[in-house]
Structures are given as structure tokens and as C-alpha cells.
Chain A
Amino acid sequence: MAYHRLCESDYRFLSLIWDHEPVNSTELVRLAAEELGWKKSTVYTMVKKLAEKDLVANENATVRSLVPWEEIRMQESRCFVDQTFSGSLPGFLVSFYGGKGISPEEAKELQKLIDELKQEEA
């Protein structure tokens, strides 16, 4: 099945096309910028990618979908990413909220500390 690599972003973008199809690509760029916060180049890359998967068609600068909304909707639950790249995020670039992960042992230990505070509060 081609659909199972479809991720949340793809789905949002497809939804945009479903809502407005057939849609002029310039219009699509505007819509994606507004709704998704995307750049023009991102939109074109995405259209190309989805066209390669035969999910959309791009003819004469007009984009339309090739799969019915219901079908993708059924597949939505299968949309996942096998591997995250959080571990490889360069620490000099980004500021992490949750840090770079934690071992189960340490998690257990920290949970204990939090529970102690809970008891104090109670």
C-alpha cells in the first residue's frame, strides 16, 4: 500500500486540496502559506511527492486529488513515523524542552522524587 507512508503533514496538505479542488497551484501556495505556514518551495516539493505516489495530479498548473477522501481517512490510523530524528537533533542549534531522552532506570528514580513531593503536598 502506498498510503502507509502518509504522515500527518501529508494528510493536512491533502485535506487542503480536497477542500478546494480543483485548485490553481498559485492559489494552493497561498492557501498552504495561510493554513499550514508553508513556503512556496515546500508546496511544490510536496505536490511532486504526492503526484509520484499517484495521490494527486498536477496538470496545467491545476492540482486535484486522485484518491477519495474516505479512503485516506481510513488509512489515517496507519500514519506513523518509524523513527524519530530527535536523537540526532544538533544540540547547538536547538533548545530542547524535554532533553535528549532518558533511561528507564532514571525515569523511575525521578518519578520517585516527584511522588515524594506529592506526598509532602498531601
Chain B
Amino acid sequence: MTVALFAPCFVDQFRASAAIAALRVLERLGVDVEVPSGAACCGQPPANAGFEDEGAPALERFVRTFRRYDTIIVLSGSCALHVRMHAAAFGDDGAGVAARTTEYCTYLHDVIGLDRLSSLGAERNARAAVHIGCHALRGLGLASPSELQEPRYDRVRAVLSTVRGLTFADLDRPDECCGFGGSFSVDEPAVSARMGLDRLADYGKGGAELLVSTDVSCLLHLDGLARRLGVSLPVMHVAELLAGEVSA
């Protein structure tokens, strides 16, 4: 059983601490995990901007890099979804990689389990706003989206419930998009920013002292908005909380 961890390009460059934390958590849980150095990106940014063909070489490289692993853990809901949806375009290897690719929290919840996660002994006395990226939520089904009339479940909050002392802020709109949306953030800056500011206001109303997310991309956008506003809201990836990282 070989397990690989993939940290997307923007995590690698702008939030290396999240990837380091994600790796340390997996190692402490006894997962024999490798970080192969063949791929920098899954090709999602150009593909979602309408340049699927231009993004294809990156995805193909992703497939070549990860085809020999039994499980490919991706530290981003939207990158994981892109691989799962589109890697099958690259033959049997691609279809296999698509099927064996999973998002980080999903792996912790479904494979590791809450009991073993509790053994990490993570602790944080704070009220957190939880933001599940839309692709993680509606694309990968990490939690039940508010639109669907189905039994409620939430794998992210379940994972976070193993962090002692952590409570959750009540939000008016628990799963409204933050407005990042990849190229949308620069194509439509006015609406993108407004969406993010509305999320921040909701977090403030819920008394959040911390923002925790499955997706670093959403966090970079929300953090950029909060800093511009002068609002102090530390942002963390789920892995950073589990690893016991103190600062944001």
C-alpha cells in the first residue's frame, strides 16, 4: 500500500506550512507517505479558465507521476475534483489515478477514522468558522450541501471535532461560496471581493476567532480581503489545526 501526498502549486508556494503540517499529521498517524517530485500542478487553473487543452500537459504529468501509487492524497478539494473528473482522458493510467485520488480530509475521515485522529491530541481553544471549498462540498461530497434534502453529514466538522477545545461559529449561510473561483477572482474582482467580504461578515457575526478550511485557495482570497480590511482573522488549513500549529 503506497500513499502519495500532492501539494498543489499555490500551496507549495504560498502556504508551505499547510503542506508540511499535512505531511506531519500523516506521518504521526503511521501512514507511509511519499511526496514524489514529478508534478507541480493538476492543470485545473487553466482548464477552469477555459483552457483545458493548455492545462492537459500538467494533468498528464500528474497522471505519470502518481500512477504507481495506491492512494493519492490531494491537499485541495478543487484540485482533487479536477483530477477525479478529468484524468480519465489519459487512458487506463488516467482512469486509475482518477479513481484513486482523494482529498485530504476525506482520507483522514474515511480511511484513518476519528478514533485514530483523536490520538493526535490536537488542542485549540477557539471558536472557528469552517469553510468547506465548494468543489470539496458539492463536487466531492465532504458534507451535505444545504440545497440537497438528504440526511445531514459533515466529514470536515467531524474531523475537526477531534481537536479538543475547538468550537464552531454558527453561520447564517454555512456553505455560500467565498468568491475565489480561480480566474473569477481576477475576471470579476468586484463580485469576487463582495462575496468574500460577505463571508467575513458572517464569520464576524458568528463570533469566529479563526477560519479553517479544506482549501488554501479560498483562504488566500479571504485572508487577502481580511488583511486589506484590517480585520484580524487567522486562517488555517484543517491540517494545520490537527498538527497543532499555533499561529496562522
Bound pair (A, B): no
